[in-house]
């Protein structure tokens, strides 16, 4: 499912991302299913390391390229530490958040029904959202504010970004 | 007294440096994933006739022991193996390059081990490598 384009194996960032994804899929087979749902082109640039790569998702698998190849749908430019931190962001299950929010409704029966409907709708998206209280999320937000982490194309590709986050997220109870 | 890099004496001093690094004690306190090996690729000009490894038996924020091994055996004794050329290790030890940047540039390579675990413990990994900078070191070239 993961292919290295010519030259990608010699690019440290590209080799790391491919290795990370392969091992994440081995740890959590649900990520294989997620990978098969993604279509899009994502460029990553580690500015302080002066290295760039492109991930091309075609709905069946992923091809990893060295450098920026084609016109990316999403592009992230960041310091090496922040690119690593993106794999460590703390997440929340959005269906649980919405379920909890629905409980604020005054009528318990309506609250239960609305909560259930919202959970069903969001569960189909199969993504998690960043936990705003997580230490790594806070650090990333700071980097965005400072302009040292920049994401291009996010407004049109929020779903792609969230799926990418889930795909590369490191399981917190890894062996 | 400076120790020649790489050598048995340097490796022993490295263990002391790791155990003296307070940041490593904190960052590595949950590390229970086994030994880590650092392999220096052969470099005859630096007096390294064959690949040479230092195996660090790290656990719960301390280094319990080290081994200095010539040849490829070091990789068999560790769960995680990081390989680089002599010049790159020299730059890391001299703090001329950050180990994470060096990995992204392909200068340091994780050739064995679970990368998600290394990423989860990225600060521990960084402090382990940076402890090397605390060792008084003499480089042959």
- Report the complex ipTM: 0.90
A126-130, B19-23, B31-35, B39-43: range with lowest mean pLDDT: A126-130
pLDDT at position A113: 78
Least confident of A61-65, A125-129, B137-141: A125-129
User: Is the pLDDT score of A79 beyond 80?
Assistant: yes
Instruction: Please give, rounded to a whole number of angstroms, the shortest distance from the CA of B139 to a CA of chain A.
Output: 25
Residue A174: pLDDT band by 50, 70, 90 thresholds? very low
What per-residue confidence (pLDDT) applies to A126?
A: 65
* pLDDT at residue A122 in the model: 65
User: How do strand B52-59 and strand A51-58 relate by DSSP bridges?
Assistant: unpaired
pLDDT digits over A104-124, tens only?
777 887 777 777 777 776 666
Determine contact: B112 vs chain A, CB below 8 A.
no
Kindly determine whether residue B117 and residue A174, on different chains, have CB atoms separated by under 8 Å. Answer: yes
How far B105 CA sits from the closest chain A CA (Å)?
5
A89-109 average pLDDT score: 74
Q: What are the DSSP calls for chain A, one per residue? A: -EEEPTTGGGSHHHHHHHHHHHHHHHH-THHHHHHTT-EEEEEEEETTTTEEEEEEEESS-EEEEES--S--SEEEEE-HHHHHHGGG--EE-HHHHHHHHHTTSSSHHHHHHHHHHHHHHHHTT---EE-TTSHHHHHHHHHHHHTSSEEESGGG-HHHHHHHHHHHPPPTT--
Instruction: Read off the pLDDT of residues A53-73 as tens digits, 9 standing for 90 and up.
Output: 999 999 999 999 999 999 999
Task: Give pLDDT, residue B1.
Answer: 85
Instruction: Name which residue leads in pLDDT, A119 or B25.
Output: B25
A151: tokens are 């994401």
Please give the pLDDT value at position A24.
94
What digits encode the pLDDT tens for the residues A5-51? 999 999 999 999 999 999 999 999 999 999 999 999 999 999 999 99
Task: State which H helix or E strand residue B133 sits in.
Answer: none
The pLDDT confidence band at residue A175, using thresholds 50, 70 and 90, is very low
Q: Kindly state the average pLDDT of the residues B123-130.
A: 90
pLDDT at A98: 66
What value does the CA radius of gyration of chain A take, rounded to a whole number of Å?
A: 18
Q: How many CB pairs under 8 A join A and B?
A: 65
Relative to beta strand B137-138, strand B3-4 is parallel
Peptide bond connecting A22 to the previous residue in cis, omega within 30 degrees of 0:
no
Query: Which one of A27, A50, A51 has the shortest CB-CB distance to B116?
Result: A27
pLDDT tens, position by position, B56-76: 999 999 999 999 999 889 999
Q: A8: nearest CA in chain B?
A: B106
Interface subset of A 54-73, CB within 8 angstroms of B = none
pTM score, two decimals?
0.87
CB contact under 8 A, B116 and A13: no
Q: B66 and B56 in contact (C-beta within 8 Å)?
A: yes
Decide if pLDDT at B109 tops 50.
yes
**Beta pairing partners, A20:** none
What is the rounded CA–CA span in Å between residue A160 and residue A164? Answer: 6
Residue with tokens 């060792």: B135
Residue A173 above 60 pLDDT?
no
pLDDT of A106 reads 77
Q: Give the number of other CB atoms < 10 A from CB of residue A15.
A: 22
């Amino acid at each position: 499912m993961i292919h290295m384009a010519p030259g990608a194996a010699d690019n440290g960032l590209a080799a790391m991302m491919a290795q990370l994804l392969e091992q994440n899929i081995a740890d959590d087979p649900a990520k294989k299913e997620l990978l098969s749902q993604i279509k899009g082109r994502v460029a990553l640039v580690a500015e302080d390391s002066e290295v760039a790569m492109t991930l091309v998702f075609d709905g069946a698998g992923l091809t990893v390229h060295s450098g920026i190849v084609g016109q990316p749908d999403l592009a992230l430019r960041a310091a090496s530490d922040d690119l690593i931190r993106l794999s460590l962001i703390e997440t929340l299950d959005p269906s649980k958040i919405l379920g909890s929010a629905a409980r604020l409704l005054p009528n318990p029966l309506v609250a239960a029904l609305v909560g259930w409907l919202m959970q069903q709708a969001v569960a189909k998206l199969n993504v998690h959202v960043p936990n705003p209280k997580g230490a790594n999320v806070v650090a990333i937000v700071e980097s965005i504010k400072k302009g040292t982490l920049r994401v291009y194309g996010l407004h049109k590709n929020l779903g792609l970004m969230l799926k990418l986050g889930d795909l590369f997220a490191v399981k917190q109870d890894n062996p | 007294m400076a120790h020649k890099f790489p050598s048995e004496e340097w490796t022993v001093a490295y263990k002391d440096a790791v155990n003296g690094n307070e940041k490593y004690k904190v960052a590595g306190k949950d590390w229970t994933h086994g030994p880590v090996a650092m392999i220096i690729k052969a470099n005859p000009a630096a007096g390294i006739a064959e690949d040479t490894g230092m195996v660090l038996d790290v656990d719960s924020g301390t280094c319990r022991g080290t081994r200095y091994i010539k040849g490829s055996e070091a990789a068999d004794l560790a769960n995680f193996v990081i390989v680089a050329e002599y010049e790159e290790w020299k730059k890391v030890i001299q703090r001329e390059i950050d180990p994470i940047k060096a990995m992204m540039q392909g200068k340091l390579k994780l050739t064995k081990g679970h990368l998600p675990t290394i990423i989860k413990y990225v600060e521990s990994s960084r402090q382990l490598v940076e402890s090397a900078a605390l060792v008084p070191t003499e480089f042959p070239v």
